Each structure stands twice: as structure tokens, then as C-alpha cells.
């Protein structure tokens, strides 16, 4: 029961952590009017939140070799509460950027410390736990836009104050329940960050080979999804926004079921299957033209890609031993985040060079399919670690 309370508190905290990374995108128009800035400067605010999420992952891995995981999780909640308040009080765009960057840092610290902690709280059902936790995070992606829209009836700062207060309350609660709970001691064996990460290089490389290019393609796809629907499929702005909402909404059940299946199925074939189906679904997406067809394929794309995240976390956290779990997972998470970040710029660059969205997405999906075939052959030959 005590561990269940810790788990529940983390599911609430991750909602605010992920909301903090996403909340700035629907506020960009407000920032342009409020601070008299251009689109490029406004976009930099969002970029800083995501750079902040990537920046602390390696240092956090080192900290986890010195400090208990739950202490680091609680510190991430504290950072989030303080930085959200700073952003809410911003009077200049520079002030706002500082708040956004540290809100991103809070998320990076959180995910690198909380995911190993969750796997050690429930070592016998890592997939299900990661799936439920991921679903709680994904709910933030679904509600971010309507949440901001409601706050604008009062003031845009209300959305950031809500994150600050919510993060502060749940962080205090997490601290209280963690004090009353016997926390897992598995992480105590992980005391050498560099040696731990290097000893698991084959597993890290395998995971990145399987999922790295998939999330690269995904980042480019979802960041241009609305524009793609408008320019290539001829949808209205509202209909295009609905398609993106569908993609994110299907992620909630996808996290749950994706994690549950990760506990039941062979991990490497399961991951390769997800990536393969994602590649096929992207190709089908480029061929579909009808509104009903676009709704159906958006559901499929969203469900498949979001099921990948708990699956790969389960693969890493269940396979890594206690002595290297925190260190190796931090390195994997950092490299994976960097891989994702490049997808949008790659798509934008190719489109500017004259390629159509259909050509770019089809090319990415075909390369992904070839990669899946190669990795499947290697797996059947026993060349991939399991």
C-alpha cells in the first residue's frame, strides 16, 4: 500500500512535468502579442524548454550514483514549482526564457530518476507500471491546449501558476509518502557512472538502433502534422488540429497496453514489430485522402508510436542489472532525446529544398522498414543482446 501511494504521487507529478514541456506551444501567439516579439523568438521559448529537458540527463545519471533516486525525483518537483513561478511572473521575454529552460530541466531530471525508481518499486511488472505512468504523462499532452484556452479567459499566467502550485503540492506529498515507505535499495549497487554505462554499451546501442530512427521520423511527422494535413490533404485548420489531437489522445491507451504487452512478449521482437507497423502506417498515411481514412490512420499511427515508449523503457530497465541501471539508462535517455530533437529540423530542411511532405515521410518510412528487416535478421541470428 505504501509503494502504491508513492506510485500514485509520481503519476500525478509526471502529469505536471510533461505539461510544463508542452504548455508553451499553445501560448506562442499570446507571447508574440504580450512581449512584442517575432515568431522566431517565440519559437525559441519552446526550444529552450526541450533543450532544458535534454541537458541534465547525463549529469542526473551521475548524481544517481551518489544520491537515492527518490531524493532526485523530489528535487525535480521542487525545480518545476520554482521555475514555473518564475515564468509566471515574467515581465520580459528573457525572464520567460529562463523559466522555460528550467521547467525543461525539471522534466529531464525527473524522467532519468523516476523511471529507474519505478522499475525498482515494481520489478515484477515493469511494463505495466511504465505504461500507467506514461499514460498519466500523455494525458498532459492531450489537455494542454484546452487547459491553456481556459486559462486565457482569466490570464495566460494562470496556466503557469497552476503548474507551479500543482507541482509544489504533489512534490510535498511525494516527500511525505516516500519518508513513510521503505524505498528499494537496488540502486545502491550503481556507484560508478562511467564504468556502468560503458559496460552496457551493446544494450544501449541495440536499443538506439531499434528505436532511434523511429522517434526521429516521429518527431518530424508530428511537428508538421497539422501543416501536412492542410497543405497535402486539403483539410481546414480545425480539421487538421483535430487529427493531431486524435494522434495524441490515442497515446493514452497506447501507453497502458504497450507497457502491459511489454511484460508478456519477447522484448526485442516486440520492439521490432512496433517499429515495423509504424513504418507501414506512415506509408499508408501518405496514400489516404478521405477524411474518414485520415481519422482511422491517425488513430493507428498515434497508438502504434506511443506504445513504443513504454516498450523500450521496459526493455532497458528490465534488462539492465541493479549495478548499472541508473547510469546506463541515463546515457540511453540522453542519446535518445538528442536523436528525437533532430527529426523536425530534418523534415523542415528537406521540405525547403523542394521535396513534398509525402516524399519525405515515405522515404523515412522506407528507410525504417529496411532497418527493421536488418535488425530482425540479426536478432534471429542471435547477434542482438536480450
> What is the pLDDT, as a whole number, of residue 298?
97
Same CATH fold, 194-380 and 2-187?
yes
Place of cell 536480450: 386
> What is the pLDDT, as a whole number, of residue 226?
86
- Indicate the fold that domain 194-380 takes in CATH: Growth Hormone; Chain: A; (1.20.1250)
- The rounded distance, in Å, linking the Cα atoms of 244 and 238 is 10
Dihedral sign, Cα of residue 262, residue 263, residue 267, residue 270: negative
> What is the pLDDT, as a whole number, of residue 272?
98
> What is the pLDDT, as a whole number, of residue 270?
97
> What is the pLDDT, as a whole number, of residue 183?
87
> What is the pLDDT, as a whole number, of residue 186?
75
For residue 37 the three cell numbers come to 516579439
- The rounded distance, in Å, linking the Cα atoms of 256 and 342 is 27
- The residue extents of the domains of the chain are 2-187, 194-380
124 by Cβ neighbours in 10 Å (0-12 / 13-18 / 19+) ranks as: exposed
What's the average pLDDT block by block, 10 residues per block, for the chain (386 residues)?
A: 92 97 87 86 85 93 94 98 97 95 97 96 94 97 90 94 98 96 83 92 95 92 87 91 92 96 96 98 96 97 97 96 94 90 82 91 97 96 85
CATH class for the region spanning 2-187:
mainly alpha
Amino acid at each position: 500500500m505504501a509503494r502504491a501511494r508513492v506510485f500514485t504521487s509520481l503519476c500525478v507529478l509526471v502529469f505536471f512535468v510533461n505539461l510544463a514541456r508542452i504548455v508553451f506551444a499553445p501560448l506562442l501567439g499570446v507571447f508574440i502579442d504580450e512581449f512584442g516579439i517575432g515568431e522566431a523568438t517565440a519559437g525559441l521559448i519552446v526550444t529552450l524548454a526541450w533543450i532544458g529537458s535534454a541537458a541534465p540527463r547525463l549529469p542526473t545519471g551521475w548524481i544517481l550514483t551518489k544520491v537515492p533516486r527518490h531524493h532526485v525525483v523530489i528535487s525535480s518537483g521542487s525545480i518545476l514549482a520554482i521555475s514555473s513561478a518564475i515564468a509566471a511572473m515574467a515581465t520580459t521575454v528573457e525572464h520567460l526564457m529562463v523559466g522555460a529552460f528550467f521547467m525543461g530541466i525539471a522534466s529531464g531530471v525527473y524522467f532519468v530518476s523516476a523511471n529507474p525508481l519505478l522499475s525498482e518499486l515494481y520489478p515484477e511488472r515493469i511494463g505495466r507500471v511504465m505504461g500507467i505512468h506514461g499514460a498519466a504523462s500523455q494525458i498532459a499532452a492531450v489537455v494542454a491546449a484546452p487547459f491553456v484556452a481556459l486559462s486565457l479567459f482569466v490570464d495566460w499566467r494562470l496556466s503557469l501558476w497552476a503548474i507551479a502550485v500543482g507541482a509544489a503540492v504533489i512534490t510535498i506529498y511525494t516527500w511525505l509518502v516516500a519518508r513513510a515507505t521503505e524505498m528499494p535499495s537496488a540502486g545502491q549497487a550503481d556507484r560508478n557512472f562511467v564504468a556502468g554505462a560503458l559496460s552496457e554499451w551493446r544494450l544501449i546501442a541495440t536499443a538506439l538502433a531499434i528505436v532511434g530512427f523511429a522517434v526521429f521520423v516521429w518527431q518530424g511527422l508530428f511537428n508538421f502534422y497539422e501543416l501536412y494535413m492542410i497543405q497535402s490533404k486539403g483539410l481546414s485548420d480545425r480539421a487538421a488540429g483535430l487529427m493531431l489531437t486524435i494522434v495524441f489522445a490515442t497515446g493514452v491507451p497506447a501507453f497502458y497496453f504497450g507497457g502491459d504487452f511489454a511484460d508478456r512478449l519477447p522484448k526485442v521482437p516486440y520492439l521490432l514489430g512496433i517499429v515495423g507497423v509504424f513504418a507501414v502506417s506512415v506509408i499508408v498515411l501518405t496514400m489516404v485522402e478521405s477524411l474518414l481514412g485520415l481519422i482511422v490512420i491517425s488513430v493507428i499511427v498515434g497508438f502504434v508510436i506511443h506504445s513504443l515508449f513504454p516498450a523500450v523503457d521496459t526493455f532497458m530497465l528490465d534488462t539492465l542489472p541493479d549495478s548499472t541501471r541508473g547510469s546506463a539508462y541515463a546515457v540511453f535517455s540522453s542519446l535518445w532525446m538528442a536523436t528525437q530533437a533532430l527529426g523536425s529540423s530534418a523534415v523542415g530542411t528537406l521540405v525547403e529544398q523542394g521535396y513534398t511532405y509525402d516524399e519525405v515521410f515515405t522515404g523515412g518510412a522506407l528507410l525504417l522498414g529496411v532497418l527493421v528487416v536488418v535488425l530482425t535478421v540479426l536478432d534471429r541470428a542471435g547477434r542482438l543482446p536480450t
